[in-house]
Amino acid sequence: MRWGLYTKIILLVLGIILFFSMAIGYYFISYQIRFLNHELTERVAILMNNFSLLSEYPLMIKDKEAIAKLVKGVLSNKDIVYCRIEDSNADTFYEEGTVNDVPINEFRAAIVARKFAKDANEELLLGVSEETAEEIGKIYLGVSVGELNRKVSREKIIIIASILFVVVVMSLTIYWLLKRILGIPIKKLVNATEMISKGNLEKKVDIKTKDEIGLLSDAFNKMTENLLQTTVSRDYVDNIINNMMDCMLVARDDGIIKTVNKTTLNLLGYREEELLGKPIEIIFGRNTCVNNGFLGDEQGIHALLEKGSVSNVEKIFITKDGREIPVLCSCSVMMDTLGNMEGIVYVALDITERKYFEHELEEKQNILKHRSRELRESLKKTEAANLLLLESNKAKSKFLSTMSHELRTPLNGILGLADILMGKYFGELNNKQMEYVKQINDCGKHLLLLINDILDVSKIDAGAMELELDEISPDEFVDATVAMIGTQFNKKKITVNIAVDKNISVIVGDRRKCKQIMFNLLSNACKYTPEGGKVDIEVFRKSDSEIRVEVADTGIGIEEKDIDKIFSEFYQADRVRDEQLGGTGIGLALTKRLVELHGGNIGVVSSPGKGSCFWFTLPKKNICREKGIVFEKEDKKENNVSDGKRILVVEDNEVNLSMLIDMLKIHNHKITVARNGKEALEIAIKEKPELILMDMMMPVMDGIEATKMLRATAGIADVPIIALTASTGDEAIKKQIEAGCDAHIAKPIRINELYALIGKYLNAEHKNINS
């Protein structure tokens, strides 16, 4: 086996490291053995010295029992195997311990008697010794060296392991360094040498160091370059030419072909001898010869000589059988070593396939242009349709807003007057009159509910529905909703059972919308449950993050084919049945959207003839809280209605105006009337009212403009203004507040709500929110 230079250097360095490591190890082990022996000797000497002092007196008086106790104390040391005491006659006075097959070292020491003296009080003084102290015996200790040997063995192992670790780390480090410094460069040189020996003269050695190896690499590369230059031959060049994928031919300056490669012969269908010595016109045609405008002009060879080369000129090759082949041709002048023109090199690429694809591409581009025009026209139509749809949505929103105002305005009069009549403020009603008034009130409420549902659906479609989140007690919104339609349940003798998980203290949601969800589900349950039936309401925790509400009835149920459709707008599962029981098909669709707006889900499980169970979930942490919607707590404080206050009523509808006057006269308020904003401003400046009820939509000057002007007028800027509005959208309310209204009350106005607001602003010190 032949070792290389790199291997020899590694072995030499490792040998040196191993030698010094062994020497250092030997030194440390020897030192440790001496240290442990010395330590044992020191401990035994101290022990024997202490024993000699303690055993002096007992040995003098021959007290064997005391000596035995001292010996037992000595033998309590695990390193002491035996102890023997001799007297002054060298006779064994006391001995204890046995010698087994344990390696031991025996230590001995003399027991010397000290002289005692008495002081003036006739008491003995210890420690008074003379140089002529008398030896009264000897102590022999057998000390086991087994533990010492074990310690020595452990220390050897530790030292050897440490040295081996250091040797390994150093060896690996030196190996890594030598490999980078010597190994890799030498390997590169060796590989390059092998490649050159196989004929690869283009192999280069890439070594960037500036030492001797780097210089050797540079010299090696120069050597291969020189070798490559000196070994290029005609065969090598011919091999390159014949293996080119492109057509190549060489012609003299007079256009006679000197060389042609196999690719050209295969493309044109000629044999080599049929082209060599022939004029180049046989390939390019007479109109494209070098001397007559190969460059597309009449300069010919002179222009080529000036430029030196011409690239990517499209020409036509003519085959042996007369076919024309499009090629992309380049040519350059070939000079000899003296700078004289030796010939012209032509390189041509067959572009037949490219021409075909260019033709295909051109056709597809034409198709694409045509389709682009169609697409632009389609986009224009789509934009026009979107614009039309946008205008339609604006018109729809405006229509709904107008309809809301126009419907709520007469409803305001109907429900307000019904409230006054039912309150018996102007006298008692007989039973029939009271029954009719209640029916008017119920019909008005039902119409108001339908209007609100349609508007809510429109708001959700427009993305304008916002939630006013609050912490709602489950008992509160369930019981309140049941109470709202309790009369209907009682009429049909339907039993209602409510079960609310006591561990659920609050639900996060929009108070009004949650009641609206429950109201729609309970209304459906009441509508489709026959007399004497049952409705079960259950609120429980579905998981740590969701609360589930279920409304189960014993009604007529829903067919399976209709379950997926009942939450669609204006869909009614049984049209004949719904025509009998009533309904618009909006309630469940709106309910689904309100639940999803809260971040929950809704569904139904139903069996025809047995009943249905509608359920919905609400997240424990409502997603809308993260969108920045502010919690708005309901003001639970009761406001007593003040009497005899100056109130300005601004309303253009005579029925509503008459109703408001009747409501306010009950508490003996002094009422002033204005029928538009301009009159309201003039009267307010003159009368200085304590409260203003301001309608928002009026002729001449609307309520928004009038409110702004009132807030800017000294002396009446702080008067509380309550907006009377049929527009209940968030945007309308925002405009009213920004204009300066302190509060708003939606039409139709209920008498108790009006009294509560009046009491709130007339019984407490008022401060304008904009001031």
CATH number of the domain enclosing 276: 3.30.450.20
Both 600 and 525 in one domain: the answer is yes
The whole-angstrom separation of Cα 157 and Cα 164 is: 10
Both 494 and 591 in one domain: the answer is yes
Q: How far out from the chain centre does Cα 392 lie?
A: 40
Average of per-residue pLDDT across 511-532: 88
Query: Domain range spanning residue 47?
Result: 5-152
Picking from 227, 262, 289, the residue at the C-terminal end of a domain is 227
Q: What is the CATH number of the domain that holds 744?
A: 3.40.50.2300
Q: What is the CATH number of the domain that holds 72?
A: 3.30.450
Both 123 and 244 in one domain: the answer is no
**Whether residue 127 has pLDDT greater than 70:** no
Q: What is the CATH number of the domain that holds 575?
A: 3.30.565.10
The whole-angstrom separation of Cα 730 and Cα 456 is: 11
pLDDT score, position 292: 44
Both 223 and 244 in one domain: the answer is no
Residue 738, domain member (yes or no): yes
The pLDDT tens digits of the residues spanning 569-582 come to 655 544 434 444 44
Q: Would you say 545 and 620 are in contact if contact means Cβ atoms under 8 Å apart? A: yes
The whole-angstrom separation of Cα 175 and Cα 183 is: 9
The pLDDT tens digits of the residues spanning 160-194 come to 888 888 878 887 887 787 777 776 777 777 777 77
Both 132 and 251 in one domain: the answer is no
Average of per-residue pLDDT across 616-634: 51
Picking from 113, 133, 152, the residue at the C-terminal end of a domain is 152
The whole-angstrom separation of Cα 649 and Cα 641 is: 17
The whole-angstrom separation of Cα 728 and Cα 754 is: 16
**Hey, how many other C-beta atoms are within 10 angstroms of the C-beta on 130?**
8
Residue 545, domain member (yes or no): yes
Both 74 and 216 in one domain: the answer is no
Residue of higher predicted confidence among 167 and 611: 611
Residue 366, domain member (yes or no): no
**Whether residue 251 has pLDDT greater than 50:** yes
- 625 — pLDDT class (breaks 50, 70, 90): very low
**Whether residue 126 has pLDDT greater than 70:** no
Residue 370, domain member (yes or no): no
Residue 558, domain member (yes or no): yes
Mean pLDDT of the chain: 78
Residue 402, domain member (yes or no): no
Out of 5-19, 194-208, 245-259, 731-745, least confident range = 194-208
Residue 750, domain member (yes or no): yes
Most confident among 55-69, 214-228, 364-378, 424-438 (mean pLDDT): 364-378
- 461 — pLDDT class (breaks 50, 70, 90): low
- Based on C-alpha coordinates, what's the Rg of the chain? 57
Both 582 and 618 in one domain: the answer is yes
Per-residue tokens: 628: 């920045």
- 111 — pLDDT class (breaks 50, 70, 90): confident
**Helices of type H across 276-317:** 281-284, 301-307
Q: Would you say 648 and 674 are in contact if contact means Cβ atoms under 8 Å apart? A: yes
The residue among 478, 450, 484, 464 whose CA lies nearest residue 618 is: 478
How many domains does the structure of the chain reveal?
Answer: 5
pLDDT score, position 190: 74
Q: Would you say 497 and 537 are in contact if contact means Cβ atoms under 8 Å apart? A: yes
The whole-angstrom separation of Cα 561 and Cα 578 is: 17
Picking from 298, 321, 350, the residue at the C-terminal end of a domain is 350
The whole-angstrom separation of Cα 256 and Cα 252 is: 5
The residue among 732, 454, 457 whose CA lies nearest residue 594 is: 457
Out of 138-147, 535-544, 607-616, 708-717, least confident range = 138-147
CA distances from 758 to 78, 424, 568, 653 (A): 102, 21, 42, 21
Residue 331: phi and psi, rounded to 5, are: -145, 155
Both 242 and 216 in one domain: the answer is no
- 100 — pLDDT class (breaks 50, 70, 90): low
pLDDT score, position 102: 60
Both 243 and 344 in one domain: the answer is yes
Both 601 and 683 in one domain: the answer is no
**Hey, how many other C-beta atoms are within 10 angstroms of the C-beta on 387?**
10
**Helices of type H across 598-750:** 654-665, 677-687, 703-711, 730-739
Both 698 and 587 in one domain: the answer is no
User: For 515-518, which contacts have Cβ atoms below 8 Å and span 24 or more sequence positions?
Assistant: 515/477, 515/480, 515/481, 515/484, 516/456, 516/590, 516/591, 516/594, 517/591, 517/594, 517/595, 517/616, 518/477, 518/478, 518/481, 518/549, 518/551
Residue 269, domain member (yes or no): yes
> What percent of the chain clears pLDDT 90, i.e. is strictly above it?
14
Average of per-residue pLDDT across 551-573: 79
pLDDT score, position 288: 54
- 388 — pLDDT class (breaks 50, 70, 90): confident
Both 285 and 300 in one domain: the answer is yes
pLDDT score, position 685: 92
Which residues, at least 6 apart from 112, have a Cβ–Cβ distance to it below 8 Å?
A: 52, 56, 133, 134, 135, 136
Residue of higher predicted confidence among 451 and 580: 451
